[in-house]
Structure 1
Amino acid sequence: MEHRKLYSITLVLLLVITFVAIFLQFFLLERTLVLRPGDTKYVSAISDQSNGGSSVARVIEKDGKWLLACHIIASEYSWPFCEISIGFFQAPGSQKGEGIDLSTFSSVHVKARYLNKGHESLRFQLRNFNPAYGRLDDPGTWKYVGIEYWPQRSPEGNDIPLKSLQVATWWIVEQKLPIKYAVPEFDNVMMLELATGNNIQPGEYLIEVEYIQFNGKYFTNSQILLFLISLWVSSAACFLFYSLRLSYKQLSETEKRAEDLRQLNQLLNVKTKELKNQAERDPLTGALNRAGIEKIFTKELEVLSLMFIDIDHFKSINDNYGHAVGDEILKEFSKLISQNCRFTDFLARWGGEEFLLVCPNTSLSDAYELAQALRRLIRDHQWTNNIRLTSSFGVAQLGDESPTAFIERADKALYDAKVRGRDQVVLSKSQT
């Protein structure tokens, strides 16, 4: 009794701690970082002159906003740009090589726009420094992580999930970066840049930036998850050590139950195999025939979905290639479907080139997906004599009806598939 009481108290305490931690993470402990004129230092304007271009950029503060005046000038440099840059590595208290950790933020809201008509896109990017592959004295080795977007589509500002930011491919190639580092990093961001978009044309541009706000949590979801996992694992380990004898007994009982379930599963598999082996089969294709399929529609098997399959224009195959080739097509067709459906499904040859596929414990939507997959498989398969083959499908789900009515509904759906042009799947209306 004491053992059970301790177990109950511990479990309740762990559940309470887990609930509180999840609640705080998702509904409280919100964290924001707002960058705006007056509160943010180390803001500068940069143009392609740093890369041998001729464009001119200037940033000023006006009415509590940044204005980036950009004059794009054509030159030998192929990718002209202007940008506003905010440096974090110069912030008071930062150490050499230390930027800002943005890894706990999940998104950034950028309130920026072009004030004059012309180019529409902007590039938002972060520059992260990692000493494993970068050099502090060479900003070109700081990882480019960014995204291009169109601010005019959202006048109230744009929410950018940080997970949507990508490492620039040209930068990975230029740095010959190892694959393990070719992923976004936000744990040591040295700079934030908001630049004109790609393919900008020569001209005068004026970009207004009201603010940039990062939104996130004090702790990442991974950190909370790691804390909860550690808490539960350590508690489980302590309790397991305390209740070792009981654990041995429970383990023995569990093994016995597992053995019983294994034997029961073997028995069920044998019974299922016997049921399938007892069914009568079509001598040509090896599929069940009408007599065999009747045994499937019994109280012991809960048949949920059915598809009626017909080989399109099969008569022309017999006429053009002979019945021997037609028989080979039928055998290969039956084999192809049997190999690409589930073990629990039953395939029957209904007559001529018509087949039934009975799918126990299968919803109408799942049967439809299977039918579409089989239809594409039949269409793309390499048939004998390079014959091009397609099939039509009628799919129905069992309702409050007799097996005969059930099959007739699937047959009617098949007829509709043929009328609509063949090589397609048609669902039957539900029968209640």
Structure 2
Amino acid sequence: MATLTEEDGKWLLTCHIVASDYNWPFCEISINFFNEQEQPTGQGIDLSSFTSVYVKARYINQEHNSLRFQLRNFNPLYGQFDDQGTWKYVGIEFWPQRSPQANEIPLKSLQVASWWIAEQKLPIKYAVPEFTNVMMLELSTGNNIQPGQYVIELEHIKFTGKYFTNNQVLLFLISLWACSAVGFLFFNLSWSRKQLIETKSKAEELRQLNQLLNVKTKELKDQAERDPLTGALNRAGIKTIFTKELEVLSVMFIDIDYFKSVNDRYGHTVGDEVLKAFAKLISNNCRFTDFLARWGGEEFLLVCPNTSLKDAYDLAQALRNIISHHQWIQDIQLTASFGVAQQGDESPTAFIERADKALYDAKVRGRNQVVISEY
């Protein structure tokens, strides 16, 4: 859990880190430099003219813990605006000083996260820090943080460089303090205020910037709950279903038969459209109490609360028939294999593995069929 409050001109981020299966728990303040409410343009801000950033932040209830300062840069040559996972992670971990001075971080000391480079499989020429189109700024707890209660005090974040423009300074500061009164901004940026009120166009510019920028504090989860392609839940999103007390719970693993041949023959764009249509077809033909998750690739998991094994089997057979007779894009012929299981006195992991084994058996038996796993 995380909350953000303002006190005496300073921001207090209160975090409760709990032990979990996720190896890198954290909480953060995230500042967006793009408007999520309007049509996305992929346009952030250019910080390439700055040389250093001064971060005046510290833990006020813990010592010897690190903070992580991070910028997220979007480059359309290799990234996708609607997939934040493709925005480049450029950051550094530091231990805040206990002094009246802010922590100076030279921008040249920021590094691209090696795990992100490996995940995106980028060419070497793109594996360097970029600051020309920064979409997001993040200040978070550092690595290896232990479970407990943490309070981070943030007084300010200031960028410095040889060349300053009124637009650049306002763009950063307004995004940081958008949730405060405009008068509070004027008080802290008096020199900017004097320039803004000189002309009517400058006042209009401030109004537009104030509309376009927002500061958002969020309670972070280990992963996003929705698959960005199909809109179905992902593994993190479906996890909570297995923590509920249900007398009867059945699941079915669903795998599109020979899906690789679709990508090979028609291309990945058509393959993505098939996946989206497949998820929609399943959702439209199961009960509103059922939960669909994309498990990975062309494999889906349908969780059916309060459903017996027989009812789950009947539903799987009905879905199998609907899939095989559906009119797919470009007249592609599709079938699917199903593995069905009902939860017994076992862990959720063992339960899902049984359904997965039944799916494997369905493939071995020739695909386009339903196999039940008996407990």
> Normalising TM by the smaller chain, what interval?
0.3 to 0.5
When normalised by structure 1's length, the TM-score is 0.37
When normalised by structure 2's length, the TM-score is 0.42
Higher helix residue share: 1
Q: Which has the higher contact order (CA 8 A, sep 6+)?
A: 2
Larger radius of gyration: 1
